[in-house]
Structure 1
């Protein structure tokens, strides 16, 4: 996948790439703070919070 498509969170593939990077962060450690996940993934805290909130709600 091209980097430009990966960076575009508005596409389904872009969202899935971002979500996968959040999920992958937990392979390092089972418990992470929001700030740690944000730092590991390079994603904004607000985006990480939104994704994790939706995963917990499911």
Structure 2
């Protein structure tokens, strides 16, 4: 399943925790955004990024 996020949106959103760049990644459940600075992984549900630190997970 491809992520349906516009390039304009991806150009302006940043990690709410550290303000690092977010990179989209497709998963079996849809997708997620991975912070390139702190490593937090934010879910994308129904093509909407959930940019809440409480909803993010650490890699591992």
Say yes or no: TM over 0.5: no
Higher RCO structure (Cα 8 Å, ≥6 apart): 2
Q: Shorter-chain TM-score: which interval? A: under 0.3
With normalisation by structure 1, the TM-score equals 0.23
Higher helix share: 1
